[in-house]
Amino acid sequence: MKMIDINLIRENKEKVIENIKRKFQDEKIHLVEEIYNLDKEYREVKLNMDTKRAEKNKLSGEIGALMRDKKIDEANVIKEKVSKMGDEIDALTKKEEELSAVIKEKMMKIPNIVADSVPVGKDDSENVEIKRFGEALIPSYEIPYHADILAKFNALDKDASGRTSGNGFYYLMGDAARLSSAMISYARDFMIEKGFTYCIPPFMIRSDVVTGVMSFAEMDAMMYKIEGEDLYLIGTSEHSMIGKFKDQILKREELPITMTSYSPCFRKEVGAHGIEERGIYRVHQFEKQEMIVLCEPEESEEWYERMWQYTVELFRSLDIPVRQLECCTGDLADLKYKSCDIEAWSPRQQKFFEVGSCSNLTDAQARRLGIRVKSDKGNYYLHTLNNTVLASTRALIALLENNYNEDGSVNIPEALRPYMGGKEKIEVK
């Protein structure tokens, strides 16, 4: 299980080091030299072991011939030699396993190679706007905070959720709850019409799947662990969707695999306390429609462009202006080759905020999870991509603000009306 091909460290250490520097992770540079030296030792041990094993097999064959010729003493000498070699091979095997485990542990910390086109920057403040879609309007009347809009409809109860569950949870009720479900259902049908297979995945996954789809740092910051079980609540259905193919060898004719999935999502949101706490912007639980693609390596760039555009198309169909932001090197999670955020316009704040993220992970997840493609020339790792179709809470905020009327009502976009019993507005009660 590793993030990059170890051959890259064997043949081009400088490229790996330069990539680490581009991501502002200089504290990891020493790992490259350590892995290089450990791998060199590993290969020497393996060669020695293979040589001794071949020699042992040859000598074992000689014993039989000597015994047939009644050369008992000579056979016994060789037997002793073979026995000694067996002990040496056992020691080398143990050494090989130890080195392999250490190399694996260190390789897991080396980030995926980032695309050359990714802008260099330390954090999300240096992400680059690429394009806007729709006109970002500022109405002549004031747009209230989304929690206050929901309060007009008696739709949000965080006092009750505080009593049942603590901070970061919420009760969503009435037409607003129905609207949230309508958006999820619409997003599901939108992706099915794009040719994606709909799936409801497991909402808990084992640790070996978690470490297969994300870095240790992300895991600690996001995932809730089930006490006494090797199970984690998913932070996004992408985790269990990619995990579905763990240790599988797929046929080329099965590719591309395109799936869209519904799930609740559970996130610790470490360090987020106090940020928009009164509303539902940053919460421990929400619902999401996700999309994933497993494809041939040469097709992943094309799929990446297609996937983020689906999200733009969906939000524009809900009368929500959006923009695409290219994520800089310092804002990329370790497994990502490239990524972009889709941000929705907030007329209240007069700025954009994140509602989704699209990522190309090349073969990083496939390597860690052992997902390969069968070929006449040997098996190889495929590429994986994921993208948010719609996350319920963020999308609801964007919809409420961009469809808010001066009288306090909220227009229901035409695309959602079939899911809302034909309703055109949510009225103040």
Q: What is the pLDDT along the chain (429 residues), one digit of tens a residue?
A: 567 889 999 999 999 999 999 999 999 999 999 999 999 999 999 998 888 888 877 776 666 666 666 677 676 677 777 778 778 888 899 999 999 999 999 999 999 999 999 999 999 999 999 999 999 999 999 999 999 999 999 999 999 999 999 888 999 999 999 999 999 999 999 999 999 999 999 999 999 999 899 877 778 788 999 999 999 999 999 999 999 999 999 999 999 999 999 999 999 876 555 545 678 998 999 999 999 999 999 999 999 999 999 999 999 999 999 999 999 999 999 999 999 999 999 999 999 999 999 999 999 999 999 999 998 888 999 999 999 999 999 999 999 999 999 999 999 999 999 999 999 999 987
Task: Please tell me the predicted confidence (pLDDT) of residue 16.
Answer: 96
Q: Are 199 and 257 in contact (CB under 8 A)?
A: no
Distance in angstroms (rounded) separating the CA atoms of residues 280 and 179: 15
Distance in angstroms (rounded) separating the CA atoms of residues 382 and 298: 9
Q: Are 410 and 283 in contact (CB under 8 A)?
A: no
DSSP code for 328: P
Helices (H) and strands (E) in the chain, counts: 13, 18
Task: Please tell me the predicted confidence (pLDDT) of residue 109.
Answer: 92
The helix or strand, by DSSP H or E, that contains position 105, with its residue range, turns out to be helix 72-107
Domains delineated in the chain: 6-107 (1.10.287.40), 124-426 (3.30.930.10)
Task: Please tell me the predicted confidence (pLDDT) of residue 1.
Answer: 55
Does 256 sit behind a cis peptide bond, omega within 30 degrees of 0 on the bond before it? yes
Distance in angstroms (rounded) separating the CA atoms of residues 291 and 288: 10
Task: Please tell me the predicted confidence (pLDDT) of residue 62.
Answer: 67
Task: Please tell me the predicted confidence (pLDDT) of residue 80.
Answer: 72
